[in-house]
Chain A
Amino acid sequence: MDQNVDITMKVNGQQVSRRIPARTNLVDFVRYDMELTGSHVGCEHGVCGACTIRVNGEIVRGCLMLAAQAEGSEVETIEGLSDAGEIADLQKAFHERNAVQCGFCTPGMLLTAQELLKKNDSPSREEIREFISGNYCRCTGYQAIVDAIERVAEERRG
């Protein structure tokens, strides 16, 4: 059987078609074929959250989904969210609160934080911690990240 697949999807609003090996993970597809290297690859088995990508409006593990499974989908990466200005306030708060150190976890953290705030406009610190529990940060100790998300939630409520 053919070990390659033809896929067509929207990546950050742009229609793309490619022929790729079926075994290509979504995060490798965006990194190597789309050359969007903001999504990171850490553990490659779903534990760290560095590879977080949005598919049809929901965050997924880019390392646990095949690019072939995103056929016909809307795929959004940190580059897309950033360019659209959708998370400008989160980025600013992460920067100002020192919630970014090496930055390896940051794209995944930002996408996860954005999904939380879309679902819940006034999360408690405990709820924030729970929601980002699937994203490892080896630098910040999380406190600053929780601070930043909490502040953006407040700002968005106005």
Chain B
Amino acid sequence: MVLREIRVKPAPFAYVRTETLDQVFDLLDEHGDDARILAGGQSLMATLNMRLSAPEVLVDINHLDGLSDISCDGETLKIGALARHSQVLESADVQTYAPLIAKTMPHVAHQAIRNRGTFGGSVAFADPAAELPAVTRTLGARFVLQGRNGQRTVAADDFFQGLFETDLKENELLVGAEIPVIKDGERTAFMELARRHGDYAMVGIAVQGRLEGDSFADMRVGFFGAGDQPILAKSASAALNGQPNNEDTIKKAQESLNADLDPMPDLNGPAEMKMHLARVLTKRALAELAS
């Protein structure tokens, strides 16, 4: 059939549906750089279709057991790497223990993509414009990385290292995230500016912290779409802590963003436009947090 010949998008590859971690590590060891882990496929498949990458083997991890659970012991919320975005969106535990993530999820892509895309895939992909890398960093999450000989745990702050770059080694799998449960009195705010709902944002902000009387405390301000990696705005957070919630404090926080953010110009506009949007979002998000 003629039609058969034209359905060629990705370069040819082999595909293995793995059932055990050992099988995954065997394939990663054997093929090194030429093997690629396939989770939800919602980022990887697009790059394959466009031939931006051409692995020899796709290692499908969707059928590994026990990697899609969401659970909480009261102190730490655990989200398995294979938890789908739609599952996280609907999780009561996420609502209760990590409301910042609950506020984030409706902005992550669209329903059909959320039905496949995974929490771990989003973190491992480390897109600086994506919500979850920045939000997990804001929350001080830790990631559990599994190698053939055991696990190690890495703080989000150390995990994200640059443009699409993480601490994950070639022969390691991200198996889950551990998120500190929100504490009494902590408030959250999440906002982003996107041209179409569900698309990657031009700039976005995620905030968690407290108001002690009239003053900000324990503030953590995160940004996405504002640099070459997900950002925890340390100067802006410091400019808020211990200061009264007033115009002067907010202005100082906005000014300190110059030290925290380094947006890249893109199709949406120049870097200075993004800095402007980040300042606007900061003011709005802090108002929401305080309201």
Partner-B contacts on A (CB < 8 A): 1-3, 5, 21-25, 28, 31-32, 44-46, 49, 52, 58-61, 63-66, 68-69, 71, 112, 115-116, 129-131, 133-135
- Chain A residues with CB under 8 Å of B3's CB are 31-32
Which of B8, B9, B13, B45: most chain A Cβ within 10 A?
A: B45
Q: Which residue of A lies closest to B27 (CB)?
A: A1
Known: A58-B115, A63-B49. A68 touches B41 (CB 8 A): no
Besides the known contacts A68-B15, A131-B111, 17 further A-B residue pairs in the complex with CB atoms under 8 A apart: A3-B14, A21-B12, A22-B58, A23-B13, A24-B7, A25-B7, A44-B9, A46-B46, A63-B49, A69-B38, A69-B41, A71-B17, A116-B111, A130-B197, A130-B198, A133-B196, A134-B113
Band of interface residues on B: 35 or more
Any A CB within 8 A of the CB of B62: yes
Complex: A120 Cα to B15 Cα, angstroms: 37
B113 touches A61 (CB 8 A): yes
B45 touches A46 (CB 8 A): yes
Which of B17, B42, B115: most chain A Cβ within 10 A?
A: B115
- Chain A residues with CB under 8 Å of B111's CB are 59, 112, 115-116, 131, 134
Tell me whether chain A's interface is mostly helix, strand or loop, or mixed.
Answer: mixed
Which of B7, B11, B58: most chain A Cβ within 10 A?
A: B7
Complex: A155 Cα to B9 Cα, angstroms: 42
Partner-A contacts on B (CB < 8 A): 1, 3-4, 7-15, 17, 38, 41-42, 45-46, 48-50, 56-58, 60, 62, 86, 106, 109-113, 115-116, 196-198
Complex: A11 Cα to B136 Cα, angstroms: 39
Taking a contact as CB atoms closer than 8 A, the residue among B13, B60, B112 that contacts A61 in the complex is B112
- Chain B residues with CB under 8 Å of A28's CB are 7, 9
Known: A23-B11, A32-B1, A60-B112. A1 touches B56 (CB 8 A): yes
- Chain B residues with CB under 8 Å of A5's CB are 15
B7 touches A3 (CB 8 A): no
- Chain B residues with CB under 8 Å of A133's CB are 110, 196-198
Taking a contact as CB atoms closer than 8 A, the residue among A25, A65, A115, A116 that contacts B9 in the complex is A25
B4 touches A134 (CB 8 A): no
Taking a contact as CB atoms closer than 8 A, the residue among A1, A52, A130 that contacts B14 in the complex is A1
Q: Which residue of A lies closest to B1 (CB)?
A: A32
B7 touches A1 (CB 8 A): no
Q: Which residue of A lies closest to B57 (CB)?
A: A1
Taking a contact as CB atoms closer than 8 A, the residue among B4, B15, B45, B57 that contacts A64 in the complex is B45
Q: Which residue of A lies closest to B14 (CB)?
A: A1
Complex: A64 Cα to B49 Cα, angstroms: 8
Which of B42, B56, B57: most chain A Cβ within 10 A?
A: B42
